[in-house]
Structure 1
């Protein structure tokens, strides 16, 4: 048993690394899986800005519509652009070979990204692009350095850049990094963009485990049942053993 525990402890850093650990402090994504409006907004953002490259080949359109409270006709009109049937999986038409040529590697499927990367990582990543000359797409990312992906939400955010402030340190004036700020050319203000990203994160977390809310609800009832059963079993045990004790 000690050997098994020791091996599991050794594997923890490997699992964390595989999940895409970052040295950049992650911002907390305060998502809410019960917020249908947020999930619907996130689904719309994904279909309009992400599906062109990233698939969700383990999630069906119809399941999304039903879980998010979207009428079928409305969902097909506003969220389903590929001419597929509602029961089909959420896929795009990008050839894998072409994607690998354009981006250096095929864009990953995002069905389980919410579970693999975590909500905080995705939320911080999508808000950490900044302009950088000499890169393939003219941008880089603080969380995922040299990522082979354009800033697909730039239309919403505008062109983000690193910002610095001059401060006095040890008697010298130095430039200190203070964050990333957009140039104002986007369709959304900074708070609105953060909300749009949070909605998208909410949707990605939902897709990673569509039955999560139901599972949690069942789990709570199971715990209540077990607690009641524990009391009944204890009382029954006392009744059986009262003559012995």
Structure 2
């Protein structure tokens, strides 16, 4: 895949790695299409238990490829195509019953912030920073940033980033709840791997469905959500993993 690496290992860990370090891992159509293909492959692969997001180089993701935008003869059509492709991927990822872990080694801007917000657990380096960046190039947010950022850190703080374009450093991001843990640059991969290993020790269905339910909760009524909870816990309760753990606990 152009600008993106994707592999599923024998433990059921699906790794998606942005690999355009010279371009700050910016998202162009090639990367967007690769991301869509990777998430579709995960959706169809029952062996996947955890998704791990990362990137190569110094920058986690600088956002959309501004150079490609500038070179496009029809910028509006290009932006619609790019955003639409990434959005379909993020919608599919959001609905998966599989936890997502992100390792963020450096700056995340624009669409890169949106990609990071799609993760359930974010481990970052002290060298990381976070900025919406859209107003800097005269654009409005995409990639779920305007919905997921207020959910993560609250409306007021989100507006500081979206409207005033404030850059947030790693320590502040941890304090605000934008990220979950900090690890030194040379320990970042191991720290993310430790989180992945912890999730692999947990019952796959229970963890994955908890993740799915929490993310789905924003989009429906309380009653509808409780119906989903009831049907999901009933279905999982019929399985062997739950039977074994319930019997052990009892």
Task: Answer yes or no: same fold by TM over 0.5.
Answer: no
Structure of higher CA gyration radius: 1
Which TM-score band applies after superposition, normalised by the shorter structure?
under 0.3
Greater relative contact order (Cα < 8 A, sep 6+) = 1
> TM-score, structure 2 length as denominator?
0.27
